[in-house]
A = this chain, B = another copy of it.
């Protein structure tokens, strides 16, 4: 039974903290080349297109010395569960030790993990989870505040289809953060999915009272039926406008899982403003993925970074 990272769902506080400490080490050692995965093969199996996340994994893999294979599904036939299984068994037979998988299909990864003899890393599965994006958010928060416990985290926008939210709904309560959600009613998660203590609030309240204002990407064209708004209307109603950002607490930070729509969910001039951690998140993405791959491939079962040199916050 191989180690996997399928989601944040069953990860303990200790596991997450240890992984963040190792990721902080890699974030500090910016540009350093490691031979931790020298000679090992890792495949990026992206069944949905994603240049940014794939590059982030590829940089992480190459900084660790791994050989990288990039698999992109051209035809929809490869998105069928059985064929993905055959693809993974083929890669496994070729000697590939880990597959980083993005898929539109909820639940596919768990099914695959029970059947293959290689390490799987979830790079986004349907509307379910996106654990490495969650971890890089956590690292960014912890780098800034030194802690996550007790912080007020506001997540704003397309909550229904956000897979990183799916991961945060597990991880943030585990780490003792207070979660606020805001956004269009038609894009809200069902109450049953929300952890106890989660507050659904107005955007203005969320922005005004949060330590972390995390804006989510909105794809208006996808919601044409339920959310009939122009980009400008969405920006005024639910986006982080310059006016709203001015109401943020002095120490609060702005986050966004790229790619962002400028002047839709976030005002263009805020993207690189002093409060924004958006490109720090991108940098931390590499560090977190290095820690995850290193730990899964070189660590023991559930070891989660305990034997590695880590950095303090």
Contacts and interface: CB of A to CB of B under 8 A. Distances in A.
A63 B66 CA distance: 11
Contact of A55 (B69, B260, B262): B69
A55 B67 CA distance: 12
Contacts of A285: 94
B33 A259 contact: no
Interface residues of A, number: 45
Contact of A93 (B32, B86, B96, B283): B283
Interface in A250-275: 258-260, 262, 268, 272
Given A69-B58, A94-B56, A33 B38 contact: yes
26 contacts: A31-B39, A31-B95, A32-B39, A39-B63, A41-B62, A43-B55, A49-B74, A51-B71, A51-B87, A52-B90, A55-B71, A55-B94, A56-B94, A59-B69, A59-B94, A59-B95, A59-B96, A63-B67, A82-B262, A82-B268, A89-B279, A90-B258, A92-B279, A93-B280, A93-B283, A95-B286
A95 B34 CA distance: 14
Given A62-B67, A69-B59, A74-B49, A94 B31 contact: no
Interface in A57-105: 58-59, 62-63, 67, 69, 71, 74, 82, 86-87, 89-96
Interface in A97-128: none
Contacts of A260: 86
Nearest to A279: B93
A67 to B, nearest CB: 5
Contacts of A89: 272, 279, 282
Interface in A21-38: 30-33, 38
A283 B94 contact: yes
A137 to B, nearest CB: 15
Interface in A226-263: 258-260, 262
A281 to B, nearest CB: 8
B62 A30 contact: no
A280 to B, nearest CB: 7
A21 to B, nearest CB: 20
Nearest to A268: B82
Contacts of A92: 279
A29 B31 CA distance: 29
Nearest to A73: B51
A33 to B, nearest CB: 4
A48 to B, nearest CB: 13
